Amino acid sequence: MKKLFCLLTLAAWTAPFAVAAPPTVLKNVTVNREMGRFAGWPANNGLWAWGDEIVVGFIQGWFKNCTTGHAVDETKPMAYLFARSLDGGETWQTEPSTLAETAPVDCPGDIDFTAPDFVMTLRMINSEEGYSRFYCSTDRCHTWSGPYKLPTFDRKTVSARTDYQVLGPHDLIAFMTAAKENGHEGRPFCTRTTDGGKTWEFVSWIAPEPAGFAIMPSTVRLGPESFLTAIRREEGENGFIDLYQSGDTGKTWQYLGKPVDSTGSNPPAMIRLKDGRVVLSYGYRETPFGLRAKISADDGKTWGEEILLRQDGGCWDLGYPRIMQRSDGKLVNVYYYNDAPDQERYIAATIWDPGTPEK
């Protein structure tokens, strides 16, 4: 199996760390692909895992070949779908959504976030419309309750994607994006419910208001009150990733730096491995188009070399990953991809070994 681990010139903030075995790409698999269709954006919709059972949400529309913007025909219907794997991402089956596409209602509260098969998906209408909503499942995404209202916290829009951490039976913290003061996208914040989803408290802004945008947090929990969140940033033509840490359950945040200098504008996906390391993955929308990752052995203070998971994409319209770790320690990155600009977009997964740190 060809190893696609490439040692590149390190960015100023990147620090090497010793490993006993380097990361290795094992295989790429197709999750959902249909000729003439557009399938995309797992980062918006969520990925959940129970051992080696994995479910990912994504949007499917109709492919439209175009030179600018996403290659989806916005004049035709788009559907929210799931794909499920029972063997750690080796094979997948697409399932129709049972999410009710109705106006959101008030949540009655008392949802048990610690139920063994509980998951939540947070969804926005789009970045230009005001409200977002959430759904809950207690049977591994087979059936859902909701949609339930999320507050806008006096902002023009709240753009919720699926990024949350369960703190207790009725206690959950979620990480979202709100409009800036001028109404444009966007600034990240965190919000918390302590009554099972009935009410939500604004906790804090994660980052200062940017000139461009700061959106799409991806968060891992480092300790009882400690969180690490990666933010998709864009300033002018430059797309990159910023990193923040909180030690007081989101009340305040410390800027840790820029782990990725350039993504071509793509959101991050983070996971904390069983051995304590943190993996950050992201789509790469510059030539060569593909999927990349970095690993930190010190809770995000420094990062190892960039790992080239894929570099065979046909154009920039790809990425939006999510990531999980299997029972055997291997990682499954799920994202959307393309082989050529004039071909359909599809959901794919890369299975890879993160290697082992030197003890």
Q: Buried b / exposed e across 188-224, counting CB within 10 Å, b at 16+?
A: bbbbbbbebbeebeebbebbeebebbbbbbbbbebee
pTM for this one? 0.92
The residues, any chain, with a CB within 8 Å of residue 179's CB and separated by 6 or more, are 155, 156, 157, 158, 185, 186, 187
Query: Tell me, what's the pLDDT at 129?
Result: 63
Query: Tell me, what's the pLDDT at 268?
Result: 98
Q: How far apart are the first and last CA of the chain?
A: 26
Mean pLDDT by 10 residues, the chain (359 residues): 36 48 94 97 96 97 90 94 98 95 95 97 77 96 97 92 97 96 94 98 97 97 97 96 98 98 97 97 97 97 97 97 98 98 97 88
| Partner residues linked to 4 by β-bridges | none
Q: Which domains does the chain have, with CATH numbers?
A: 19-354 (2.120.10.10)
What tens digit of pLDDT does each residue of 34-44 get? 999 999 999 99
Query: Tell me, what's the pLDDT at 9?
Result: 30
